Amino acid sequence: MNDRTLAYSPCPNDTYIFAALTNGLLPDAPRVRVELGDIEELNNAAAAARHELTKVSYGAIPYLMRDYRILRSGGALGRGCGPLVVTRPETAASLDDLRGARFAIPGERTTAFMLLQLALGGRPDAVQMRFDRIIPAVAAGEIDAGLIIHESRFTYQAHGLRSVADLGAWWERASGMPIPLGAILVRDDVPDADAQAIDAAIRASLSFARRDEAAIMPYVREHAFEMSDDVMRKHIDLYVNEYSDDVRDDGIAAVRELFARAHAAGILERDAAPRFLR
């Protein structure tokens, strides 16, 4: 098998999952060339089919099924791990108070923005920012509310902000299903046999990480920016779970439900069927 490009974010859940594969710690595993990027950068790159393997938001996947199918391993789904809406305490007490407000969002095609539109019942006034710029912008009064993802859910209170909506909890109440956040895609020009070998290698990489964290945590810390060890640990514990090994039938059902609701709400112009690797 030729070396394949693999793109993912520097967030601890991704670096934890891929550390062993990326750093050659798995005998006989496929070789990959890694590129790191912010999740919206990855979503945009996938729209151009730039990478053979890439992490993307489930919110972007309806626009990518012409060129990609979804691997069963390596993704981000779960419960209690959804995006939050945060504001300054004096700005709002609930999501209803923010109708007409201006939101900072981490990307137009992130799952977080799809969930926000579903919860609000329409598209808000929104400006896109890198996810790590949103909390400072809200705290400084540059923006009314922020839609936060990743490790920001563990740090917003230190900036004097309050959470007025947990969109993951909203989704779970509305659907009874886990929250589909992100997935690993494989481009259609990668043969099924190679894609299945990569899928198995990702699962093996995660198994290695759980078995020998001492070998992989330096790589995770290297890419965790200024994140404390405590926040890094909470991030991994929340976003790396049983769905990281395999999306499972209930995960696939949750993805289908998300897309169906987005289509019914007019967020997606046409219905989209996710294509998972068999």
CA Rg value for the chain: 18
Number of residues that make up the chain: 278
Catalytic (active site) residue 150: yes
DSSP codes joined into one string, 41-92: HHHHHHHTT--SEEEEETTTGGGTTTTEEE-SSS-EEESS---EEEE-TTT-
Q: Which two tokens stand for residue 229?
A: 């060890």
Give the separation between CA 183 and CA 246, rounded to whole angstroms.
Answer: 11
Question: Which residues are CB-contacts of 26 (< 8 A; sequence separation ≥ 6)?
Answer: 20, 201, 204, 205, 208
195 touches 54 (CB < 8 A): no
Indicate which residue of 150, 159, 235, 263 is catalytic.
150
SS3 128: strand
Give the separation between CA 190 and CA 65, rounded to whole angstroms.
Answer: 14
174 CA to centre of own chain: 20
Pairing of strands 102-105, 53-57: unpaired
Active centre residues (catalytic): 150
